[in-house]
Amino acid sequence: MSFFTPLIFVSSVIATSFLKSFRIDINMSATLDIQALPIELFTKILDHVSDNRANGQESIKNCRLVSRHFNNVASTLLIPWISVCLTVESFTRLEHVYSHPIFSRNVSHVTIILNFYEAELANCRPLFMKEARSRLLRHTETMERMPRYKSKFYWTRELHDWLSHMAWDDCPKLNQLIEEDNAESPPARIQKLFLKLYEIYKRRFDNQENLRRDNAHIDRLVTALSSLPGLSSLRFEDYNSNRAIVTSNSQRGSDRLLAADFEDSGYDEKVLRHFDRAVRPSPWCGWFETHQTVSPPVEMLGELCSRLGSNSVKIKHFGLSLYPPPNLLVLETSPTQQENIKRLVSLTSNMRLHIDPYDNGHNYSKQQLLAICSLTVPFTSAPNLETLEVNFGVSSGLISSVSLVDVLPPNFVWPRLQHLTLRNVNVKPVERRQLVAGHSSCKLDLY
């Protein structure tokens, strides 16, 4: 395997780039275990190698071929996709990538994770304890109903009974934290666990707010995204654990609970995984105890897209998945922001907007719903759209109060449109006829 020696620099960069931490380190030692390379990359490169023992020159030729193909193949695999969440660590990783002369060239897809740590939970310990118990209840119920979900966790009947005992409001020591905001002296073992969960959540919230101070996070995002020459796809994702099977293995931006942080309580990581929901960031619609009062970082959507547009960023693929807060008015964009958003999507050919108000018991006024339309109208004003999907989820709250003329730009005609999907969007008969007349060769899916 000595023929890999000339490739140490490149392979070092490749191997390092696939580390989750995105640690940039090109001054590695002169030896490298090629088994450490991602198997997909390793296999594809070695497709170009054959061992001809009878012809040493042929083997050397193959090795040189590998060297060339290593660079050609690897260059397309150098971090093509990045996700960014509202944490200092995530922003630091992004800045390492965009400032790197090699990595920055190959990034084409960026996902902005909108989930956040709530002030309501960080600043009220009893409310956090109550929310943590509610999340634990959802976890135990899901394990009972879905074997596939349960299989992702360490599980015994005794452990399940213990978890259910807490989740169903039958643990006096936990109830003491919720109802009295007080613990025993010294705290009981389970109280130490929940107090530590609150400490972790509070620390993450404080770090988030330091990041957001004076909108510095928007400045950093705009600088980073503007520095990616190959950026073609931008997605905003609001992950809602209430609507899907999500564990600490699949939740982006979520950290596992480490036993080292809970030494005084004595629980190992297998048990702690059942509590990781308690310290996860929330979707914009809030969670169980906060869905009426949640205050999301709305600048991460309208303001960020506006700043990107004003900074001449243009993308070809755009996606938005959002579970809005109860007060839709906070989503309203100004006329200036709308014009800048139009600049951002002026070259966009593919767009998917999924805005689901969820089942939060709100009867939205038309004024509130028009606040959402202040987002959909500039986004769908992209003149070069080829595919467009607007999905208002399963709720009927948006269907009756606003119609297509409110949701889409005036005349809503796209010359290149090939496929239009509208789900749970109120389309009046005259609007339907206008759609058909303006897009006779387009596939229309109206649900």
Check: CB of residue 119 under 8 Å from CB of residue 205: yes
Cα→Cα distances 104→16, 95, 101, 227, 292, Å: 15, 10, 6, 8, 41
Q: Burial, 57: exposed, middle or buried (Cβ in 10 Å; 0-12, 13-18, 19+)?
A: exposed
Q: What does the DSSP 8-state code read for residue 261?
A: G
| Domains of the chain with CATH codes | 2-75 (no CATH), 81-117+213-243+290-446 (3.80.10), 119-211+256-278 (no CATH)
How many CA within 13 A on the CB side of residue 282? 28
What confidence score (pLDDT) does residue 160 get?
93
Low-confidence ranges of the chain (pLDDT < 50): 1-32, 243-253
Q: What is the pLDDT of residues 322-351, one digit of tens each?
A: 999 989 999 999 999 999 999 999 999 999
Q: Burial, 232: exposed, middle or buried (Cβ in 10 Å; 0-12, 13-18, 19+)?
A: middle
Which residue's structure tokens are 């297509």? 404
**CA gap 221, 227 in Å, rounded:** 10
**CA gap 7, 346 in Å, rounded:** 42
Q: What does the DSSP 8-state code read for residue 5?
A: G
**CA gap 372, 44 in Å, rounded:** 46
What confidence score (pLDDT) does residue 21 get?
36
